[in-house]
Structure 1
């Protein structure tokens, strides 16, 4: 991100410098390119803080609701639903191993848009998977598949981007739920298929694996210790038919949401609020106290992102005002527009796999742009991309770094394949609904 941030600033400066040196004023009211760049810088700094302040209330509200749902055990219900599917996806991981529970909890948190809660479970899962890894320092097939699914996880509720759209004045902040669900279902399916397919070309040295196992835990046996740190995740799963029926309902909701998206949209937020609070109350949660506790976390999150917003919004504003963005968009956008992908969404698609904070700043700047707005086709598309794709390089660096894995094998290829499919699916869904 250091290189990207500095590169955008330098490119904007040198582009404006060129325009300044070749500038010929045509009237007294003309603004010099460098003066326009300075004005854009200052205005972007102000608007980024205003955006963050407007985001505080919405973020606090949504995280308060999610805290109620979490306290009521919704995360663990989803975990139990996923367990029969996980056993089939990860046949190399014993059913009662802590890695299985940690992976389930990670995916459940991602499905609810709880990125902060998902990361600790993801790191824990990688640590447990590493105990089953026969070749230390090299990613196992289970590690790669978990990372691929993690970077494309099915998202039922993209709470963060809904909050951002609401703060940007959207009349339909939850309108991205069906498009995000469709895109993540497609990208997750692609991630699983890609990881299974690519592993054929990245075979682990069986002789080395055998020798590592022999020297560590004995012939043909990998020892592990089941702990009680994740008791709910490792508790008895629901019957398999319930899990598959739930998955079928989610898949069936996608075409319904796409066809009737405009009719369903106004209902989503009110029904969501009533459902989560009612669920929490039914589970015996003191909904008011827990909501307030979660809202405090939302306030802290909104405040913490102010420096990131300032940095990226200023850089993007300078890049746009200098004319460098126009040159890039004109060059590449003339090709992507042919397949329904507008040039204005290109910065988001290119930056999202590299930097989460950078992509967040880009989508925030796009939604705040008066020429675009949150409820335009581009606004829906960049919002869907933010909610349905992941910072692939960051996830690989953090999760593999936690277990000192240097040979990532096909993990990056699988993750980027899922990102590409997610972008295509998001474009198709948004084009159908909002173009």
Structure 2
């Protein structure tokens, strides 16, 4: 499944880039070699200097007539002018900032830099002592999207390696700590403590298997927002699960269930989203904690349910029907609970409970989670190493052995990470998402009340963490962090995960090539989280 998705991302991204570039060339979108009317404002000593700073002023009327695009105000663009050998002809080095029209940003980006454009200005007549009427010809632009595809693919390949190398230290440290805890018997104690839960979620895994302890540590770290600790624990869990795998290279049911929990993004404190909201000037950055917990819970429940459903379907029709009949009462009870939540929410009861929770215990809950998040990592390290010393484990030697394993895992995931991130970069840079996927999905999302501005964020989140973070920050800048859309995209970010990245890294760690139905399960969980976020945010703040 992942093989076909990877190929589709590359082909769609490339096809979109070619189509959009041909369309731009055919329509002469960038008016190559055309002359745009403008006014140049300069200092009095301008004529006596070879190079001088100036301002290029383009009226909104001239810009609209030239590019067939309207702008709100006249453009005032700083530039550096250099004399040429021809009379009244100057080379212009123009600086572009975030307030410039998108078209000028595209022209600037096409040359490899994002904040400058080179052009030529021809002076015609003097308007007053410091102004000339002129015409400017900007640098020629072509194949913008194909250049983006090339640049992004090369850039992200380097980034993927940096990510993997950045994991080496963390992997070495945490797997060293886990090795000490495992030899001391602490992982077995943890596994036995939560046996009643894990036995139901992971029936194929022996209750005292080391994989249980690693998975618990991973899930706990994710819930506390300790992403740096969660990944090493998760990769260790995948290695342990692979020891039970009878068919190497093919994902087991337990692996898929574990990754369903990971891609659901169950987090108590969405620290990154809160930090972005605070930086954007939110009056209440933590307002999304309640909505995020609700959406993440729905996403996790959906992911687990779909994983189990796919398990049954893959086991054969007879076993599927037999299992449904045997658990019919439980299935009906779950459906009743879901319907009850929807009814209570729609009647306003959830608003009342949210109000009571916020007023009475929210600050205490928030403070408790923050304290736990701060002390969790040092407490885990000290307690695990200390328990190993108490059990007379050679803690230093065992730590080093575990650290060696961490180094090997971090290096092993590089090819998988490069492959997935390059495909996603090509898909994004080629314009396939914004120009093809978004318009198609709007047919479905518009009737659900999904704001058009929030849809790119919902689509980007499973693909790229940094990409979705950038979209979220931009939306907050435009609409405000405390607007309905601002709260909605913050909840999207906090209650979902980068599914493609997680699958590439975790499966890559154990050389899994046949991922079976892991991707559909992860994406369905993402969809559930997005819809739940839309539901709860609309209910409380819409």
Identify which of 85, 88, 111 aligns with 2:223.
111
* Structure with more relative contact order (C-alpha pairs < 8 Å, separation 6 or more): 1
Identify which of 233, 236, 260 aligns with 2:354.
260
Answer yes or no: is 1:431 the counterpart of 2:538: yes
Cα distance in 2, alignment partners of residues 329 and 279 from structure 1 = 37
Contact 1:258-1:429 at 8 Å conserved across structures: no
Cα distance in 2, alignment partners of residues 266 and 363 from structure 1 = 30
Cα distance in 1, alignment partners of residues 435 and 256 from structure 2 = 38
The match for 1:392 is 499
The match for 2:366 is 272
Contact 2:264-2:296 at 8 Å conserved across structures: yes
The match for 1:338 is 447
Post-superposition offset of 1:27: 2.5
Change (3 A) 1:6 1:352: farther
Answer yes or no: is 1:184 the counterpart of 2:296: yes
The match for 2:214 is 102
The match for 1:350 is 459
The match for 1:174 is 286
Post-superposition offset of 1:9: 8.0
The match for 2:483 is 376
Cα distance in 2, alignment partners of residues 350 and 192 from structure 1 = 21
The aligned length equals 326
Post-superposition offset of 1:325: 5.1
SS in 1 for 2:204: coil
Q: Which has the higher strand share?
A: 2
Cα distance in 2, alignment partners of residues 361 and 7 from structure 1 = 25
Any residues of structure 2 matched to 1:210-289 within 5 Å, and which?
Answer: 259-260=353-354, 264=358, 272-273=366-367, 276-277=370-371
The match for 1:415 is 522
Post-superposition offset of 1:163: 0.5
Change (3 A) 1:328 1:128: closer
The match for 2:417 is none
Tell me whether 127-136 or 3-12 shows the greater mean CA deviation. 3-12
Cα distance in 2, alignment partners of residues 375 and 121 from structure 1 = 35
The match for 1:124 is 236
Contact 1:16-1:37 at 8 Å conserved across structures: no
Cα distance in 2, alignment partners of residues 426 and 434 from structure 1 = 11
Change (3 A) 1:8 1:386: farther
Post-superposition offset of 1:40: 3.8
TM-score, normalisation: structure 1 = 0.62
Answer yes or no: is 1:151 the counterpart of 2:263: yes
The match for 1:50 is none
Where does structure 1 lack aligned partners over 5 or more consecutive residues? 47-75, 205-250, 286-307
SS in 2 for 1:151: helix
Deviations 1:275-299 (A, max 9, x none): 7449979x998xxxxxxxxxxxxxx
Post-superposition offset of 1:84: 3.8
Cα distance in 2, alignment partners of residues 284 and 335 from structure 1 = 47
Structure whose alpha-carbon radius of gyration is higher: 2
The match for 2:61 is 27
SS in 1 for 2:307: helix
Contact 2:29-2:67 at 8 Å conserved across structures: no
Post-superposition offset of 1:96: 2.1
Change (3 A) 1:113 1:400: same
SS in 2 for 1:27: helix
Change (3 A) 1:136 1:28: closer
Cα distance in 2, alignment partners of residues 133 and 39 from structure 1 = 55
Where does structure 2 lack aligned partners over 5 or more consecutive residues? 1-5, 37-59, 70-99, 116-186, 317-340, 380-420
Change (3 A) 1:266 1:117: farther
Q: Which has the higher helix share?
A: 1
SS in 2 for 1:133: coil
Cα RMSD, aligned residues only: 4.5
